[in-house]
Structures are given as structure tokens and as C-alpha cells.
Amino acid sequence: MTLELIELGRSIRARDPARPSWSEVIFSYPGLHAVLWHRVAHALWGWGLRGWGRFVSHLGRMLTGIEIHPGARIGRRLFIDHGMGVVIGETATIGDDVTLYHGVTLGGLSLKPGKRHPDVLDGAIIGAGAQVLGPITVGRGARVGANAVAVASVADGVTVVGIPARPSGPDGPRATVGYGLPSREIDPVGERLTALEDEVRALRVALGARENTVLETREGSARHEHRMS
């Protein structure tokens, strides 16, 4: 446990742009605490002491705001940044050097027993508020953008955004910034709204042109009737 604490602390200090001190990491980082609580709960679960495993997991959730089922399998150096609202389901597996931001759910879509939750492979990043649902795989080095809903597997190194989550562009993987978002598509929802606004403006212009045409036709008909009378 001491060796893992040191390894987790080093990883967090290296990956967090806030560059926390050792004392900050050890005493004030719920993501680190949640992983350590989970190690105890998972060991109890594996020994068949499932009630105690759930109890320890429950204590960890109360203290950190991060809910990790004791049956979930977590690799080394998991970095849960901020962490509040993170939920990791029973059959989820997480590889090494994965990053999860706050509000992430690794959840299920089925009520049937068996594999129900995702596998997140080494080096993946799941952005804030993202939902990764079902027995799918998020590949090595893949990115799931903030608030995306992924219900299909993500290939290695690919960035997906949106609802449902899709690759961020036809030209393949893109460089990413914080929260798993691609740097050239910082706000996919905002971009979609902008496109809708452009379409509404175009429709207004077309409608205005048609109204002008109808008005001119009516005025022409009125002048013609006036001359005939």
C-alpha cells in the first residue's frame, strides 16, 4: 500500500497542471484516497467477504464522493481528477495510466448478470461528465470528450465526442486539450447550435425573399386591375 501511495502521488504530481505538493496530494486529493479505499474493498471482495467489501466501498464513497464498486478491476496510476460524482460499475476494468474527470460514469445498460460495464485500456482519458455505457472497450490512448455518451467501442488513439459519441473528424485522431476534448472542436454542442443558428438565418432570408416576391406580384396585379378599370 505504501509503494502504491508513492506511485500514485508521483503520477498525480506529474499529470496535474496545478503541480500540487506531496502534502496536498496525500491529504487533499480524493482521487488518490478513492483508489486506496478501493484496493481494500476489492481485496475483501476477492476473498469472498462481499458484505465487508461493500461496506468499505461505501465508506470510500462517503469520504471522497467517488463510487467504485468493489468488484471493479483497476490498474496502476489511475488519476481521478476532482472526482466528485464518478461512478465505476462492478464489471468495469481500467488499465494503467488512465485519467477520469469528475462526473464520469462507467455504467451498464443491461440488468442481466455477467459483463455489463466498459473496459478502459491503458492511457485513455474520459472527459468531465462523460457516460461510457455497456460492455464496450475504450482503446489505448483513446479520448471520450466531456459530456459525451459512448455506447460503442472506441478504437485505440481515437477521440469521440457528442451524443451518441462519434469520432471527432474524418481525418482521424486529433490533438486534445483538457477534459478529453479535441483542440479543434472545443465545444461540439456549441458548434451544433451555431450551425442551427446559421440555418435559421438562411431560412429567414429565403422566407423574406419569397414574401417580397409575393408582395411584388400582388402589387403588379393591383396595378394591372387599376389600369383595366
Q: Is the peptide bond before 182 cis (omega within 30 degrees of 0)?
A: no
Residues 62 and 119 in one domain: yes
Q: What is the pLDDT of residue 212?
A: 81
Same domain, 139 and 196: no
Whether residues 176 and 191 share a domain: the answer is: no
Looking at the fold, whether 109 and 35 belong to one and the same domain comes out as yes
Residues 161 and 122 in one domain: yes
- H or E segment and range at residue 133: strand 131-133
Tens-digit pLDDT profile for residues 48-81:
999 999 999 999 999 999 999 999 999 999 999 9
Q: Do 220 and 108 share a structural domain? A: no
Q: Quick one: 204 and 167 in the same domain?
A: no
Q: What is the pLDDT of residue 171?
A: 44
Whole-structure pTM over 0.75, yes or no?
A: no
Report pLDDT digits (tens) over 116-155: 999 999 999 999 999 999 999 999 999 999 899 999 999 9
Task: Give the SS3 label for residue 138.
Answer: strand
Based on the domain organization, do 135 and 192 belong to the same domain? no
Cα distance between residue 61 and residue 83, in whole Å = 11
CATH code, domain with 134: 2.160.10.10
**Cell numbers placing 144:** 471520450
Count: domains in the chain: 2
160 in the same domain as 126 = yes
User: What are the C-alpha distances in Å from 123 to residues 83, 100, 222?
Assistant: 18, 10, 74
Give 36-45's long-range contacts (Cβ < 8 A, gap of 24+).
Answer: 36/1, 36/4, 36/5, 36/8, 37/63, 37/64, 37/68, 38/68, 38/70, 38/72, 38/74, 39/1, 39/4, 41/68, 41/70, 42/70, 42/71, 42/72, 42/73, 42/74, 44/70, 45/70, 45/71
Which residue range forms the structural domain that includes residue 225? Answer: 187-229
Say how far apart CA 152 and CA 140 lie, in whole Å: 15
Q: Please check whether residues 117 and 197 belong to one and the same domain.
A: no
Give the confidence band of 173 by pLDDT, cuts at 50, 70, 90. very low
- 130 and 229 in a common domain: no
Q: Domain ends where: 169, 184, 199? A: 184
